[in-house]
Structure formats: structure tokens, C-alpha cells
Amino acid sequence: MTFPSLRLLAAAAPLLLSACGTFNAAARAEDGAGAELAHVWGRWADSGGDIAVAVTWERKVDAGVTVAEIEDAFASVAAEENLKMVGSLPLSAELQARSGQPQKFLKVYSYCDPETARAMVDFSPHMAAFLPCRITVLEKDDGLWIYTMNMDMLTSMGRKLPPELRPRVMRVRDAIRKMLERGARGEF
């Protein structure tokens, strides 16, 4: 083997070794992981590299729907799906109290299914960083918007969930998605 060939092999070694890890991770991933990764990557690229765009779901709230109607929709879905509201963070109210100046609406709502949360953290302790599930109502110049994390990343891109855990996680995912959709329409 010539010296240039050895240099090329040495340069390629980290890529080859990392590919082994990639193949190993892909073999353990949920079905559909590649499609979800492509979706996240596409949103990241389309946004000019804004990672928050890539990893969230959003809906513009229908014209005429009020914050109270959005909150009623959230509460209705939470009751239907047995999710507990574990807190809210009224950021715009706090900022207005501090500054004395009117603020555009911004409030974060937190929901949790404690048993599913515990099971997810037991499966992967890093999941604790994603708890509780959060959904945010934000006023922008063009009206109200609702944002939440793209939970398909957790259900599709990670290691295969144990068969007894997957339906529970999907129920929470579907409930958060339902909050997003029904909240945007003011349906309760």
C-alpha cells in the first residue's frame, strides 16, 4: 500500500466507523425512522437551519377563535384522553406585570400522563428532558398560533419502544396532536 493510500484510508476511517454506529442505530430504530428523519431534515433545511422549526408542529388558530376557546379545547381533550394539566406559564402576563407595557399573548401549558412518563423515563432516562408535554399559544402579527414538539420524533426516530409501552406513548402523542388541531379550531 502506498503512502497516499494509507492517508486516504486513515481519513476515511472515522467515516467508516461512524457509519457502523449509524447502521447499528438504524437497525434498532422504529419503522418509519428514516422518513421522519427526512421530514425533520427537510424542515430544518427549508427554514434556513432553524432547529426549532424542524422539531415542532404548529397551527395557525382560525380567525375569531379566542384564547378562552383554545384553553377550553385543551381542557376537553385532556379530560377525554386522561391527561393531567400539571401547570401553565403565563409569560405575557408576567412580562406585562414587570414592564407595565401591554404584551402579545404568550402562554405555555403543560400536560402529563404520569404512568406513561415514568415508563418512558425507565426506557430512556434522557426522555426526562422532554417532560411534561408542552403546548404553547403565541400571538403574532397575523394572529394566534399554537406550537408543540413534534412527538413523531420520539415515537418514530428512536429505539423501538417495548410492545407494552408503544400504545401508551402513541395515545399521548395523539392527544397532544388533537389538542393542537382542536385548539386551532376552538373545538371543545
pLDDT on residue 163: 94
pLDDT on residue 32: 77
Q: Is residue 18 part of a domain?
A: no
In this structure, of 41-50, 132-141, 172-181, the range with the lowest mean pLDDT score is 41-50
Residue 127 structural domain: 31-185
Separate counts of helices (H) and strands (E) for the chain: 8, 5
**Inter-CA distances, 38 with 30, 32, 68, 115, 124, Å:** 14, 10, 36, 31, 23
Q: Is residue 9 part of a domain?
A: no
Q: The domain spanning residue 93 has which CATH number?
A: 3.30.310.70
Q: Is residue 17 part of a domain?
A: no
Q: Is residue 22 part of a domain?
A: no
DSSP 140-184: ETTEEEEEEE-THHHHHSSBPPPTTTHHHHHHHHHHHHHHHHHHH
Task: Tell me the average pLDDT of the chain.
Answer: 89
What cell does 115 get? 404512568
Q: Is residue 175 part of a domain?
A: yes
CA angle centred on 165, ends 163 and 166, rounded to 5°: 70
Judged against a pLDDT cut of 60, whether residue 1 lies above it is answered with no
Q: Is residue 179 part of a domain?
A: yes
Backbone phi, then psi, for 137, in 5-degree steps? -105, 130
pLDDT tens digits, one per residue of 36-89: 888 888 998 999 999 999 999 999 999 999 999 999 999 999 999 999 999 999
Question: Quick one: pLDDT band at residue 156, thresholds 50, 70, 90?
Answer: confident
Judged against a pLDDT cut of 60, whether residue 113 lies above it is answered with yes
Burial annotation 165-175 (CB, 10 A radius, 16+ → b, else e) = eeebbeebbeb
Q: Is residue 69 part of a domain?
A: yes
Range 27-42 average pLDDT: 80
For residue 70, give the 3-state DSSP assignment: helix
What cell does 145 get? 398560533
d(CA 20, CA 41): 21
Q: Is residue 15 part of a domain?
A: no
The total of structural domains in the chain comes to 1
